[in-house]
Amino acid sequence: MNVLINIDVDDLSKAIRFYSTAFSLEVGRRFGDGGVELIGSSAPIYLLVKEAGTPSSSMAFDTRRYDRHWTPVHLDWVVDDIESAVKRAVEAGARIENAISTQKWGRLALMADPFGHGFCFIQFLGAGYDEIAS
């Protein structure tokens, strides 16, 4: 089974610039004016243009918005150097939400992209998650 990651955005050009710069991704395929595939991570990422205010699903409990919002799903980007990853992402337009913290398993930076989606950078230390696994 493979995983594909889809990220709704309201400005495709801005999203391509951000994700290419912040995460060193490259454009793969384009899907007209409504989407693009980014490659270079362990799973392809699809940026999909969806206008703000449109229903988020057929059940329409919520509408899309691109200010900071909470969702129970987010991306964790595993990096070797968390300081340089945070700096690159901020220069590309990300926001730092919490200072880099250190746990037994590694270092963590909580961030948000320019479209309100939360993400984290993780730099594993020692045995990584095995440090806390039972």
Q: Which pLDDT belongs to residue 58?
A: 67
pLDDT in tens, 81-108: 999 999 999 999 999 999 999 999 999 9
Q: Specify the residue for token string 């384009």.
A: 30
Pick one of 3.10.180.10, 3.40.50.970, 3.20.20.450, 3.30.465.10 as the CATH number of 5-131.
Answer: 3.10.180.10
Q: Which pLDDT belongs to residue 5?
A: 96
pLDDT beyond 80 at 60:
no
Helices 82-92 and 12-23 cross at an angle (nearest 10°) of 160
- Structural contact between residues 9 and 15, judged by C-beta atoms closer than 8 angstroms: yes
Query: What's phi and psi for 33, nearest 5 deg?
Result: -90, 0
pLDDT in tens, 6-48: 999 999 999 999 999 999 999 999 999 999 999 999 999 999 9
Torsion, Cα 33 35 40 45, to 10 degrees, reads 170
Q: Which pLDDT belongs to residue 132?
A: 95
Q: How far apart are CA 70 and CA 52, in angstroms?
A: 16
Instruction: Give 109: exposed, middle or buried? Use CB within 10 Å, 0-12, 13-18, 19+.
Output: buried
Identify the DSSP state of 55.
B
Q: Where are the domains of the chain?
A: 5-131
pTM given for the model? 0.90
Provide mean pLDDT across the span 111-133: 96
Q: Which pLDDT belongs to residue 40?
A: 97
